[in-house]
Structure 1
Amino acid sequence: MGRKKLERFRQNEANPHVVQAGKEIFETIKGNWKSLQFQNDHPLVVELACGRGEFTVGLARQYQEKNFVGVDIKGSRIWKGSSQAYAEGLQNAAFLRTQIELLEQFFTPGEINELWITFPDPRPRDGDERKRLTSPRFLDIYKKLMAKAGNIHLKTDNTGLFTYTAEVLSSRPDIRIIRKTADFYLSEWKDEHHGIMTRYESMFMEKGETIKYLQFCFTES
């Protein structure tokens, strides 16, 4: 392991914006994000596969009245966003280092008010469908954890994942699609994201890819 990566891991251990194995809060955070991490009662917004955390940090800057948690398994990735949050004193931004499959170990039913899935691995092979973050398997997890009428957002450059997700959502009577566009930056909603882009989003746009966007919610408890 490189020296730079080891140094980033050391900084994560000391950074109060990082919740990870080895810290006492890691074992007690479930159901207690507002009281233990943020010490307020603001709505909780979670970003999955947050990578470097550009979107989590960007949203936290814009919405001080909400709490934001970026989730990723790669400590060297979340180091970037957590370091920025620490440097800027963003008390409403935090990062959870864990696998997304384990979300139920860290959030209680109804604890998440809003969920973002930003540029996830599209997992294009048919055999990898269960690993897609918008597959029925993951949707069932989200349904348990989302607050009533809580919104879920997907942003992706991948047409296959966008089409697949729209089909899966449309097939479920417990889901309502609120917004859907195959070109987000030509849509009426683009300004609502305040120009916040992830590294991957910028890369895809430079290659001429259009950004697809879906917003939906569960309609049954």
Structure 2
Amino acid sequence: MSRKKLQRFKENEENRNVVQEGKEIFEKIKGNWKTLQFENEKPITVELACGRGEFTVGLARQYPERNFIGVDIKGSRIWKGSTIAIAEGMENVAFLRTQIQMLEKFFAEGEIAELWITFPDPFPRDGDEKRRLTSPRFLDMYKPMIQKDGTVHFKTDNTGLFDYTLELLQSREDVNLTFHTHDFYTSELKDEHHGIKTRYEKIFSDKGEKIKYLKFRFV
């Protein structure tokens, strides 16, 4: 392991806005994000597979009246967002280091007001369907954690994953699909994202890939 990674891991251990194994808060955080981490009653937005946290931090800048949590297993990635948030004095940002399939261990029923799934691995092979973050397995896991009026956003460059997700959501009776587009940056909602892009979104956009986006609610 490189010296740089070791230094980042050490800083993650010290940074209060990183919740990870080995910290006392890690085992107590479920149902207690507002009291133990943020110490306020603001609604919580969660971003899955947040990577370096560009989107989590970007949204937190725009919406100081909300709390934001980026989730990723890669400690060297979330270190970036964590240190930026600390440098800017942002108290409404935190990062959870865990595998997403373990999410229900860290969020209680109705604890999440808004969920973002941004540019996840598409897992294109049929045999890997259950690993997709928009598969029935994951949707069923998210549902209890999200408030009844909470919105789920999904953004990707991958047409196959987007079409799979769109067809799946349209087939579910417990989903209200409120918007979808195969070309987000020509849609009427593009300004709602304030130009915030993840690292991967910028790479794909610069290559001319159209960005797909949808949002829905569980009913």
Q: Would you call these one fold, judging by a TM-score over 0.5?
A: yes
> Are 2:175 and 1:175 equivalent residues in the alignment?
yes
Report what 1:21 is aligned to: 21
Residue 76 of structure 2: aligned partner: 76
1:152 is matched by which residue type in structure 2?
V
Which residue pairs with 1:45 in the alignment?
45
Query: Normalising to structure 1: TM-score of the pair?
Result: 0.99
Deviation at residue 144 of structure 1 after TM alignment: 1.2
- Structure-2 separation of matches of 1:19 and 1:196: 24
Deviations 1:88-129 (A, max 9, x none): 110000000000000110000110000000000000000000
Cα distance in 1 for partners of 2:172, 2:53 equals 31
SS of the aligned residue for 2:69 comes to strand
Identity %: 70
Deviations 1:186-210 (CA, angstroms, capped at 9, x unpaired) = 0000000000000000000111100
Unaligned runs of 5+ in 1: none
Q: Residues 106-117 of structure 1: matches in 2 within 5 Å? A: 106-117=106-117
Amino acid at match of 1:37: Q
Runs ≥4 residues deviating over 4 A: none
Equivalent in the alignment of 1:87: 87
Residue ranges of structure 2 left out of the alignment (5+ in a row): none
Deviation at residue 149 of structure 1 after TM alignment: 1.8
Secondary structure in 2 matching 1:134 = coil
In 2: Cα distance, 1:121 partner to 1:32 partner: 29
| TM-score, normalised relative to structure 2 | 0.99
Q: Aligned pairs, how many? A: 219
Q: Residues of 2 paired with 1:9 and 1:28: CA distance? A: 21
**SS of the residue aligned with 1:149?**
strand
> Where do 1:44-193 residues align within 5 Å?
44-193=44-193
Q: Which amino acid is the alignment partner of residue 24 of structure 1?
A: E
Q: Give the Cα–Cα distance (whole angstroms) in 2 for the partners of residues 190 and 2 of structure 1.
A: 39
Task: Confirm whether residue 8 of structure 1 aligns to residue 8 of structure 2.
Answer: yes
1:78 positional shift: 0.2
| Per-residue CA distance 1:34-54 (angstroms, 9 max, x = gap) | 011000000000000000000
